[in-house]
């Protein structure tokens, strides 16, 4: 497994471009199975999760090619209705096959994904949504088995204990676009990635109103066609670069940072007195040469609230704020695997239920640390940039799942970073 060796203390300077959004691509790749015609996807990030999703749709029967950087072509003339455990267990997002298979074939068998390091990740809302559309759904042999012969549009409420569900909303929208009648999804996930998938579906001929809002109305059509779609920039990557620039006292222009998708994150940064400037609707400049961070209180919530996918990065940055910050995780209350690793670097963080209490400012010092998941890996890099000395982040395959060329981008900004192949 590869590791990343980072020498702390070098200032980041220059420009960095944000890649396409991973969490839009994954349902979008699944959505190509809704038609037998060709779909062309552009601005697709080069990530192991995306390559894996491409393998999954190919294994389902689609012809998949990657003719040039960032461009994928998918033509699913004939597909299977069974997504086996061997495919699904490697990536939870393959649950996004459920909607398209149900819609196109009127039957689906999708293996239930296994456990996840960031906490329990149930799929009860996906199942509830399909049942509301008139599908028969049973759990058998570890599979979600759907009989959708009687599927029709309906009223679907998708809220759960922790709010709505991102991939659950994607699945129910994808099922409803080919269901006769009108479907109204209430408490739909408002995340821009779901709205981007809806935009792609509209390009395929789907009739969708209210995408990106809590009420989405879908009028079923008999058939969808091919389309060309450009994936929106990744707001989580953008937020991660802002945190990295701030931690490294850098001067960085982040291109592809959409202000309209980063509202809650920028609000917290303003409260932390992190110096940033909106240069355009799609770019943000951070000049952190004289940064003096203030502590913040922050709670993760579904969009447009503060994203759980930036919680670890904020936690790492707040080790550099002068005072006590409190971060509360309302989506995945156990998503704190990065905390003990940061403490090994000298951070002062205690857990109190779903909250992390961070006392700063800590003098971080480089140490060997282990990445446990994608966003935890990003948090460790943020800490490594702020630390004195060398940090060796192991198991960075997590990072390669969701950040396109992060080591190359860091090096181009002046960070002292080296990928060590097969370090353990
Ligand atoms: N939930 C339920 N029942 C369900 C589904 C979800 O109770 O049937 C709960 C979850 O346990 C969680 C909350 O609802 O507490 C939200 O989960 P959601 O279903 O929205 O998560 P997801 O769709 O599985 C996506 C992203 C995650 C991101 C979450 C929350 C993709 C492929 N993944 O997951 O991204 O953290 O939404 O915003 O879109 C990441 O990129 O690092 C990542 C983990």
Q: Averaged over 338-367, what is the pLDDT?
A: 97
Mean pLDDT over residues 103-115, rounded?
91
- In the chain, % of residues over pLDDT 90: 93
Across the range 48-69, mean pLDDT stands at 96
Q: In what order do the strands lie in the sheet with 71-75?
A: 63-68, 71-75, 38-42, 227-230
**Predicted pLDDT of residue 10:** 87
The answer on pLDDT for 115 being more than 70 is: no
| Residue 339 confidence class, pLDDT cut points 50, 70, 90 | very high
Average pLDDT over residues 391-410: 94
Place of tokens 């450009």: 230
Beta strand 155-157 with 136-140 is: unpaired
CA–centroid distance, 109 to ligand 1, in Å, is 21
Which pLDDT band holds residue 121 (cuts at 50, 70, 90)? confident
Atom of ligand 1 nearest to the CA of 93: 32
Q: For residues 121-138, give the mean pLDDT.
A: 96
Q: What is the mean pLDDT of the segment spanning 218-222?
A: 98
Q: How far is the CA of 403 from the centre of ligand 1 (A)?
A: 18
pLDDT tops 80 at residue 64: yes
Q: What is the largest CA-CA distance in the chain?
A: 63
| Protein residue with its CA nearest to atom 5 in ligand 1 | 123
Q: For ligand 1, what atom is nearest to the CA of residue 125?
A: 8
Residue 70 has a pLDDT of 98
Q: Would you state the pLDDT for residue 199?
A: 98
Residue 118: the pLDDT is: 75
CA distance 90 to 408: 26
């Amino acid at each position: 497994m590869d590791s990343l060796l980072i020498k702390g203390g070098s200032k980041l300077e220059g420009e960095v471009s944000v890649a396409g959004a991973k969490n839009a691509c994954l349902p979008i790749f699944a959505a190509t199975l809704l038609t037998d015609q060709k779909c062309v996807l552009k601005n697709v990030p080069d990530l192991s999760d995306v390559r894996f999703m491409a393998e999954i749709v190919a294994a389902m029967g689609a012809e998949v090619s990657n003719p040039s950087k960032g461009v994928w072509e998918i033509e699913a003339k004939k597909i299977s209705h069974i997504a086996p455990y061997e495919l699904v267990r490697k990536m939870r997002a393959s649950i996004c096959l459920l909607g398209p298979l149900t819609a196109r074939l009127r039957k689906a068998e999708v293996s239930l994904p296994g456990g996840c390091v960031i906490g329990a990740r149930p799929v009860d809302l996906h199942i509830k949504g399909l049942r509301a559309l008139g599908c028969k759904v049973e759990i058998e042999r570890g599979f979600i088995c759907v009989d959708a012969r009687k599927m029709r549009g309906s009223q679907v409420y998708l809220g759960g204990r922790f709010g709505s569900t991102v991939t659950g909303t994607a699945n129910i929208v994808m099922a409803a676009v080919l269901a006769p009648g009108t479907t109204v999804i209430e408490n739909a996930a408002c995340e821009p990635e779901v709205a981007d998938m809806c935009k792609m579906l509209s390009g395929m001929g789907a009739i969708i109103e209210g995408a990106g809002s809590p009420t989405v109305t879908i009028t079923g059509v008999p058939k969808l066609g091919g389309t060309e779609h450009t994936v929106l920039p990744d707001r989580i990557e953008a937020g991660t670069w802002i945190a990295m620039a701030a931690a490294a006292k850098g001067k960085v222009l982040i291109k592809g940072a959409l202000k309209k998708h980063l509202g809650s994150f920028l609000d917290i940064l303003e409260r932390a007195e992190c110096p940033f400037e909106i240069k355009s609707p799609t770019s943000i400049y951070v000049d952190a040469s004289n940064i003096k961070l203030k502590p913040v209180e922050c709670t993760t919530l579904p969009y447009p609230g503060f994203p759980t996918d930036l919680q670890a990065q904020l936690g790492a940055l707040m080790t550099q704020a002068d005072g006590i910050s409190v971060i509360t995780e309302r989506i995945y209350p156990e998503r704190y695997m990065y905390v003990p690793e940061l403490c090994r670097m000298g951070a002062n963080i205690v857990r109190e239920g779903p909250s992390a209490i961070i006392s700063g400012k800590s003098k971080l010092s480089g140490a060997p640390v282990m990445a446990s998941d994608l966003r935890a890996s990003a948090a460790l890099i943020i800490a490594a940039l702020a630390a004195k000395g060398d940090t060796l982040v192991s198991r960075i395959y997590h990072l390669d799942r969701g950040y396109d060329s992060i080591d190359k981008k860091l090096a181009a900004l002046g960070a002292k970073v080296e990928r060590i192949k097969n370090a353990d």
